[in-house]
Amino acid sequence: MIALVLATLLTATQPPVVRYVITTETNTWKPIELKDVERILDNAAVSPLLQRGDMQLVKSDFASLKQGDYTLMVAGRFIEEAEDFSVYMTFGPGKREDLPSFYVAGTEAVGKRGIGEMQRIMEKLANEVANRMNVLLARELRRVDLPLEIDANNETVVPGLWQWPKLTEPNIPKPSQLVQTLIDPRHEDDARSQAVRTMAPAAFDELPARKALERCILRDPDPGIRMECARALEPVARVNPGTQRVFMYAMRNEFDGRVLAVFANISASFNGLSHAEAVDTWLYLVQSPATPSEAMSTINELLRKEGARTPNLDVAVATCMRQSNSKFDKKSDCVRTLLPILPEERRGIVILDYLEHIDPLELAS
Alpha-carbon distances of 197 from 202, 230, 265, rounded to whole Å: 10, 11, 20
Judged by DSSP in three states, 176 sits in coil
**pLDDT single digits (tens) 216-233:** 999 999 999 999 999 999
For the chain, the domains span 15-145, 177-364
Alpha-carbon distances of 11 from 4, 7, 17, 47, 346, rounded to whole Å: 11, 6, 11, 24, 24
Between CA 12 and CA 165, with CA 71 as vertex, the angle to 5 degrees is 140
Helix ranges (DSSP H) in 26-148: 34-44, 47-50, 115-136
- What is the rounded average pLDDT for all residues in the chain? 88
Per-residue pLDDT averaged across 16-44, rounded? 93
Q: What is the pLDDT of residue 221?
A: 96
Per-residue pLDDT averaged across 281-294, rounded? 91
| Assigned CATH for 15-145 | 3.30.160.180
pTM for this prediction: 0.81
What is the C-alpha to C-alpha distance for residues 260 and 258, in angstroms, rounded to an integer? Answer: 5
> Of 245, 200, 194, nearest to 218 (Cα)?
245
Q: Are the C-beta atoms of 264 and 231 separated by less than 8 Å?
A: no
Q: Are the C-beta atoms of 44 and 130 separated by less than 8 Å?
A: yes
Fold (CATH) for 177-364: Leucine-rich Repeat Variant (1.25.10)
Q: How far is CA 338 from the centre of its chain?
A: 17
Neighbour tally for 355: CB within 10 Å: 10
How many residues can be counted in the chain? 365
Q: What is the pLDDT of residue 364?
A: 54
Amino acid identity, residue 225?
Answer: I
Dihedral sign, Cα of residue 289, residue 143, residue 306, residue 24: positive
Beta-bridge partners for 89: 74, 104
Going by pLDDT thresholds of 50, 70 and 90, the confidence category of residue 147 is confident
Neighbour tally for 195: CB within 10 Å: 27
Q: What is the pLDDT of residue 159?
A: 63
Q: Are the C-beta atoms of 26 and 78 separated by less than 8 Å?
A: yes
**pLDDT single digits (tens) 234-257:** 999 999 988 999 999 999 999 999
- Beta strand 56-59 with 17-25 is parallel
What is the C-alpha to C-alpha distance for residues 25 and 37, in angstroms, rounded to an integer? Answer: 10
